[in-house]
Amino acid sequence: MLASLQRQLERIYEIKIPHSVEDFLITDIRLLNDLQGNEKADQSEIEEQLLVIQDGDSVDIALFVDNEIVNRLTQDDPRSRLHAGNLSDYCTAMEGVSHFLYLIWNAGHKRGVSLMELEMQAEIDKYVSTAFLFGKQGSGRIPSNLYRWLFDKPVFNSSLDRTSLERYRDANYYASKYCARLENRYLKRTGQSGMFNDLRRLYRLTNHAKISCAVAEH
C-alpha cells in the first residue's frame, strides 16, 4: 500500500529514489517507543511519525504508521474507492510517505530540509494526491469540499508544544495558499496544462524560496 503511494508521488514530481518506504516501515507503537527511548511515554495519539536518528556520520530512518491504519487501508483500499470513510486514514499514510520521500530525495541531492518544509510539502501532497485520485475514480470530478476539508479546520495533536504547534499551523497556512491557487488555476478549469510543471518547480525549491512561491499570487 505505502509503496504504491510512494510511486504515485514519484510520478507526480518526476523523481525517483533508490529506496522503498515499506523497507523502513514500522507499525508497532512499542517499537517506536523503544527506538525513541520512551518506553513509558504516552504516545497513544501518534498515528504517523518519521523517525530520524543520527549517530556520527550515520543516519537511521524509520517511518511509523499505526498498524490499525494500515489494516483499515488494506481492507478498504482507497486506490479502488476513496470516500469519506477512508479519506482520513489515506491522508495519514500519505503524510508519512511524503515525509519519507521528501527527506530522502533532498538528502540524495545533498540538501537539508527544515521540519516546516516537510510538513508543508506533506500538506500539499495530501491535497494533490486526493484530488488526482478522486478525479481518476470520478471521471474527472473532484469533491467541491475537498479543499475545505483539508485546510479550513485543521486538527492538531493536543500534545504538541508551542513551537511545534506554530510550525504545523504555518505549514498548513502556506500549503493552503498554494493549493488554493492550484485549484483556481487548474482544477476548476477544463484544462490542467502546466499544473505538473508548477508542482515540480515548487518541490525542488527550499526554505524561503519555497514559501515565497507558495504564497505568490501569480
Using alpha carbons, select from 140, 143, 142, 146 the residue that is nearest to residue 127: 146
Give Dmax (Cα) for the chain. 54
> Residue 92 has which C-alpha cell?
495519514
> Residue 216 has which C-alpha cell?
505568490
Q: What is the pLDDT of residue 109?
A: 94
Q: What is the pLDDT of residue 146?
A: 93
Rg (CA), the chain: 17
**What does each of the 218 residues of the chain score in pLDDT, given as a tens digit?**
999 999 999 999 999 999 999 999 999 999 998 888 876 555 667 899 999 988 777 788 999 999 999 999 999 999 999 999 999 999 999 999 999 999 999 999 999 999 999 999 999 999 999 999 999 999 888 898 999 999 998 888 778 889 999 999 999 999 999 999 999 998 887 566 789 999 999 999 988 999 999 998 76
Contacts of 90 (CB under 8 A, 6+ apart): 73, 78, 82, 130
Q: Which residues lie across from 55 on neighbouring strands?
A: 58
Query: Do residues 168 and 86 lie in contact, with contact meaning Cβ atoms separated by under 8 Å?
Result: no
Could you tell me the residue ranges of all domains in the chain?
A: 2-215
Please tell me the number of Cα atoms within 13 Å of 165 on its side-chain side. Answer: 8
